Structure 1
Amino acid sequence: MYQTDPPLSPKETLPTMYDLPSEDQDQPGLPDQFHLFQPQLLAETFRPPDYPRDQIFTGSDLNLYYDLRHPSWYKRPDWFAVLGVPSLYEKRDLRLSYVVWQEAVNPHIIVELLSPGTEKEDLGTILRDVEKPPGKWEVYEQILRVPYYAIFDRYKSEFRMFQLTGARYAEVDLSDFRFWIPEIELGLGVWQGSYKTVEMPWLRWYDKDGNWILTSTEEERQKAEQERQKAEQERQKAEQERQKLEQERQKLEQERQKTERLIAQLRSLGVEPDLE
């Protein structure tokens, strides 16, 4: 093969997202509802304050191509976030896959949602077949070096966080099922509430004050409630003004009646009051 001088970079020589498959060839088909809804909630509430939205990419059930030595190898995280990359591929196109040698930025956090069929691979307890690609744990920890790896088991309402410490992941002792990530000024935790009309424990992001970051629907609902409260306050203010005017009218009426009685008394005594 012809060798250029200087050699071309992997970005120039290896397949792009347009060349690589975007579907999961081993497990075709759509995920269950939880695997659809939970990543949506994570994406909606992932708002690092120091990153504009057009410099954040989040993916779910998307092929993540990670090894330039084996361009066809990929993992398919349930959800992941990358910081400092355009939200659109090359600022112009929706991503078909996430190809690390094209993007040059690895995910900052990956979330896997445990299910009976994926639990062993997600937790890194399965023995690797040397004839096959490495498992998720090895890819996230050893190859991509993803700083944070979160695992959520909805069946047990169990949230576990692993942080890259040196060469290995170390499990973090969580407080109140929450974990704060200082460099992005966001925390990830378990929230008991209703999302998509489903009441259950969900994984979502919170801010530095410990408040859950609102989804667009929740923001609209909050805005509508604030407007309702404002309208109610204005109605109460108008009612208070009306009552004040009524009190003043009654006071004037009382003064008028008092004056008329006084005039009547004077006239009964033969005194004509000076009304000018």
Structure 2
Amino acid sequence: MYDLPSEDPEEPGLPDEYHDLQPALLRHTFNSECYSPEEVFIGADMNIYYDVRHPLWHKRPDWFLAVGVPRLYEETDLRLSYVVWQEGVNPLVIVELLSPGTAKEDLGDFGDEEKVVARPYSIPSPKSKWEVYEQVLRIPYYIVFDRYTNRLWFFQLVGTRYQLQELDPQSPQIWIPELQLGMGLWEGEYEGITRLWLRWRDAQGNWIPTPAQEAQQKAQEAQQQAQEAQQRAEAAERSQREAIPRMLNLGLSIEQVAEVLGLTVEEVNRFNAAQNGE
């Protein structure tokens, strides 16, 4: 990993702001009960080296997920790249964010229908991303999203070829049984931008919150609990106040009332005076 380059200035589809935000949202909303965080590696805009016979050949997905591998390289260091012949595990999910000019590279023959005029560029290996993901790495789940048309493609490896899975065009939902998680298009605000975003959801169909949203939810719940506790305390105090004159009218002494209500004599006198408007 340390010997292979982690950047390629001639790589097509240079990252823009969207290519920073969308992978971050996928990272922050991934939370699978099937794997602990120490058994998961998530890469974004990172080289995947896939052929030990041609060690410089690589592809650079916008986002990918590998499970059953250490979070850190050899459990000690942050990764520079993902080298499959060292890791021993291929990614489970790859997400590509379609850019003008990369449709053919990302979608293979499916890219022809987009009628995107590809700009000339050099690629780091003879095979396209589609070919590498399908035929070499054999990625089980391949997802492509076009933010310009809001179209979502979901390919699943069946045998030796990708098969396009049918999605509801109004509310496309993807399910990955190995993770017990789904992915869909969520319309909302993230980092100040409101649009359709790719986002993970749980088995019940709930959108998984980001750590910031989860912290905000917990703060709101704690505030609500504090308010409810204060309301209960105020209600109990009102009940005590209202009970004092009734108990005194029954002939109990100040000391007896204090003992029954668990108050001091001074508190009973103060509450009684307040009730009488003194």
TMscore range, shorter length: 0.7 to 0.9
Amino acid at match of 2:130: W
Aligned to 1:124: 108
List aligned pairs for 1:61-100, cutoff 5 A.
61-100=45-84
1:202 is aligned, of 197, 208, 213, to 197
CA distance in structure 1 between the partners assigned to 2:19 and 2:94 by the alignment: 14
Equivalent in 177, 182, 191 of residue 182 of structure 1: 177
Give the CA deviation at 1:122.
0.9
Indicate the SS of the match to 1:68.
coil
Unpaired runs of 5+ residues, structure 2, are 113-121, 252-278
Pairs within 5 Å for 1:1-276: 17-27=1-11, 31-125=15-109, 133-175=126-168, 176-252=171-247
Cα pair 1:45 1:213 within 8 Å, conserved: yes
Q: 1:131 to 1:236 in 2, by over 3 A?
A: closer
How far apart are 1:106 and its partner, in Å?
0.4
Alpha-carbon displacement from aligned partner over 1:31-60 (angstroms, at most 9, x marks no partner): 211111111111112222121111100100
The answer to whether the Cα contact below 8 Å between 2:13 and 2:99 also exists between their aligned partners in 1 is: no
Change (3 A) 1:67 1:208: same
1:117 Cα deviation from its structure 2 partner: 2.5
- Give 1:92's aligned amino acid: T
Percent same amino acid at aligned positions? 52
Paired residues in the alignment total: 239
Alpha-carbon contact 1:190-1:202 (below 8 Å) kept: yes
Contact 2:95 2:144 in 1 (8 A): yes
Change (3 A) 1:39 1:254: same
What per-residue deviation string (whole Å, max 9, x for no partner) do you get for residues 50-82 of structure 1? 211111001000011111221111110000000
RMSD: 2.2
Match of 2:272 in 1: none
In structure 1, what is the Cα distance between the partners aligned to 2:7 and 2:49? 12
- Alignment correspondent of 2:267: none
Q: TM-score, normalised by structure 2?
A: 0.80
Q: Deviations over 1:94-126 (max 9, x none)?
A: 100001111111010100011113222111137
The whole-number CA distance in structure 2 between the counterparts of 1:131 and 1:35 is 20
Show the counterpart of 1:4: none
Q: Give the drift of 1:21.
A: 0.5
Q: Which residue identity is paired with 2:153?
A: R
Cα distance in 2 between the residues matched to 1:77 and 1:144:
12
Deviation at 1:153, TM superposition (A): 1.3
Counterpart of 1:251 in 2: which secondary structure? helix
Q: Is the 8 A contact 1:24 1:76 kept in 2?
A: no
Equivalent AA in structure 1 for residue 37 of structure 2? R
Runs of 4+ in structure 1 deviating by more than 2 angstroms, as ranges, are 27-30, 129-132, 249-256
Unaligned runs of 5+ in 1: 1-16, 257-276
Q: d(CA) in 2 for partners of 1:191 and 1:167?
A: 32
Give the C-alpha shift of residue 254 in structure 1. 6.2
Aligned-residue offset at 1:250 = 4.5
TM-score under structure 1 length normalisation: 0.81
Shift of 1:27: 3.4
Q: 1:265 aligns to what? A: none
